[in-house]
Structure 1
């Protein structure tokens, strides 16, 4: 995975939600997701022309400006009808600036 700086976010969280959740007020969250994964930029551009992200069994091309998923595979398969992918900020992790590494012994 590339460690070079990119003009787009390095990581996102993708939430796979039922379409009926789309109409509810407020942004989607992990509690309403059937599955979620934090994906990180690979430094490559996907077939869609947007940055390519991978992680947690998900491979996606994401438009970082609109947070639109332009292509998505989950465990190597396309998303079934009736499901929708939403992109949110990734939760803070150990490699996020300002977050301490966990202690290990």
Structure 2
């Protein structure tokens, strides 16, 4: 497969310029592993789901193009970060 089939979504408070620091699990208020559904979302990018999160992710840029958390848009003041996951490590933190 040419693109990752799962990612870990990290929801962090605020907007962080330093993506390394923002992606640290200790800074996340919520994290979940999302897996590819094989569908394309309204944004035109692949859809990934898992543990109450639906994300549309551009695999070329690793950008979250659309995101629902428990059926609602992301709360103001939160930012989504992603990390690629290996197939053998798909588990929630």
Query: What TM-score do you get using the length of structure 2 for normalisation?
Result: 0.84
Change (3 A) 1:10 1:80: same
Partner Cα distance (2:18, 2:52) in 1: 27
> Which protein is richer in strand relative to its size?
2
> Which protein is richer in helix relative to its size?
2
2:15 aligned with 1:26? no
Q: Which of structures 1 and 2 has the larger relative contact order (alpha carbons within 8 angstroms, sep 6+)?
A: 2
**Structure 2: 5+ residue stretches without partners:** none
Q: Output the aligned Cα RMSD.
A: 1.8
**Structure 1: 5+ residue stretches without partners:** 1-5, 100-105
2:12 aligned with 1:8? no
| Paired residues, number | 88
